[in-house]
Amino acid sequence: MFFDDSKQQIEKKMLLLEGIALLKDPAHDILMDLMLRDGRMNYFEFTHCLGELKDSGLVRDAGTNRYRLTERGENAILYFSDRVEEETLNALKTTVETLNTHTPTYTSEWAVYEGAQVLKLMHTDRGLCLMLSMEDRKLGEAMAKAWTQQNRQALTALMNLLTDALFAPPRD
């Protein structure tokens, strides 16, 4: 087993629930990054705890490799939040703020795709690549420059809109 005792396992599960709540439907890699930082848990503890939280109905899948608390998970935080030391919870919140304020990386490049010249606009932190067929090289170069240097707010909104539409759970 990965844990010294059942108390330690419960604490790690509660910490994982808190992380999911703070990140609001986090992607698997971001949640894992949060939990493995600063020795909060190791990969095996993370995988084990996440699996058990899903199996017990406290966490559910919210799209491709994303997680969401269920009502039971939210109630567990309300009732058992005292299982996580305040100092540990504050450190977790600080790390979440760091993750949420990380500046994404935007890159662009020209490529040939199926015989057509395309401009690839990439957002590396989200793992996305937007490919635009471009007949006008000057327009493409202007777009590439804007993508990497200007209008970050509008471009980030576009990427967020696209990713939210792709990964949002189906509406009931």
Give domain status of residue 172, yes or no: no
What is the pLDDT at residue 114? 77
**What are the structure tokens assigned to 55, written together?**
């199996």
Is the domain of 25 the same as that of 58? Answer: yes
**In the chain, how many domains are there?**
2
Is the domain of 86 the same as that of 122? Answer: no
| The length of the chain, given as a count of residues | 172
Q: Is the pLDDT of residue 1 over 50?
A: no
| pTM for this prediction | 0.58
What is the pLDDT at residue 26? 87
Cβ-based neighbours of 53, under 8 Å, separated by 6 or more: 13, 16, 17, 59, 73
What is the pLDDT at residue 69? 93
The span from the CA of 101 to the CA of 147, in Å, is: 19
Residue 120: strand, helix, or coil: strand
Is the domain of 74 the same as that of 129? Answer: no
Owning domain of residue 95: 6-101
Q: Is the pLDDT of residue 55 over 60?
A: yes
